[in-house]
Structure 1
């Protein structure tokens, strides 16, 4: 029964990957770094949310820039996105389903697992430049 649920959950993330990969980064930043930011700065909910929304957009741009540079310089023009996404996908599954990976401690939350998987599915389906090619 739980295997069917896990498969359905992963399929749902795959179907929504094109819509949630940037909000997934923002949510992941909020969950992982939000409490630390609030304790350090004494910030409220609105200030914390706005900081991480802006940070999520900046981080997304940096990730695309790094993927582009990696594609150009390390892979000599071949798309590096599928290789990177396949390498990161097990980490996303380990974060999303920590009970299946009880032999080692996963330090990230399930929200981060969803964000990693959304990015991986998006990179597999679109590649590094696929989003730009469709919108240009």
Structure 2
């Protein structure tokens, strides 16, 4: 930087900045947006607790991270058969929407099915991309 290579330094640092700072900040913004505005979008009105979670996938021997999960109003995160109002994926990008977004929705559909298999009520779950 001191030698006048700020542009090159930024190009090298940009992927780390995007994944470690911009991405998590955007995910926080998506959860905050859900807390404040989901009542205007969700069929059930006001959501309950909003946060993030990981969902176990025994068949694939992995866990799927969920950027935004909102339970239905009145539900508790500890409830074994909680109603899930919303599952969301948050991606901070300036890229145009494309097939990657369809893949994200397919991933959310898989997660919704896994949650149903685990006993959660997903009958009115909305899928969201941020």
Q: TM-score, normalised by structure 2?
A: 0.31
Higher helix share: 1
- Higher relative contact order (Cα pairs below 8 Å, separated by 6+ residues): 1
Higher strand share: 2
Q: TM-score, normalised by structure 1?
A: 0.30
